[in-house]
Homo-oligomer: A and B are copies of this chain.
Amino acid sequence: MTGLDPGVAARLKRNEAGLVPAVVQQHDTGEVLMLGWMDDEALHRTLTTGRATYWSRSRGEYWVKGETSGHVQHVKEVRLDCDGDTLLVKVDQTDVACHTGDRTCFDADLLLAT
């Protein structure tokens, strides 16, 4: 049981692990910062605390982004997609999003540019 709004919970389509991918975007510049994963409780906390909160698949625990690094994400907007299986979280990212020190998790590895 989580406190997630039942109407939202009913629209969520989770994967076999009970998770939904969350695309995280800087609200003003439009940069795609990272992709995280949320279960119902992480989404509930994100919606109610104003701090982006994920389920860490590697550590098996909730993870308030920036709790240790200080690189907090202040939540500005949350949207669910047409299939109910992906979230879009618009945030104000403090400093950098990536644990490597890059601004976004997509900065380092360019596969194609036209």
Contact of A86 among B35, B83, B84 (CB under 8 A): B35
Query: Interface on A for B, CB 8 Å cutoff?
Result: 8, 11, 21, 23, 25, 29-32, 34-35, 47, 50, 75-84, 86-88, 98-100, 102, 105-114
Contact A47 B98, beta carbon cutoff 8 Å: no
Ordered by A's residue number, 14 sampled pairs between the chains whose C-beta atoms are within 8 Å are: A30-B30, A30-B31, A35-B81, A47-B112, A75-B114, A77-B112, A79-B106, A79-B107, A81-B105, A81-B109, A82-B105, A82-B106, A82-B109, A84-B109
Contact A34 B114, beta carbon cutoff 8 Å: no
Given known A-B contacts A21-B35, A32-B32, A82-B100, A77 and B113 have beta carbons under 8 A apart: yes
Given known A-B contacts A30-B31, A32-B32, A47 and B108 have beta carbons under 8 A apart: no
In the bound complex, residues from chain B placing their C-beta under 8 Å from that of A11 are 109
A92 to chain B: closest residue by CB: B114
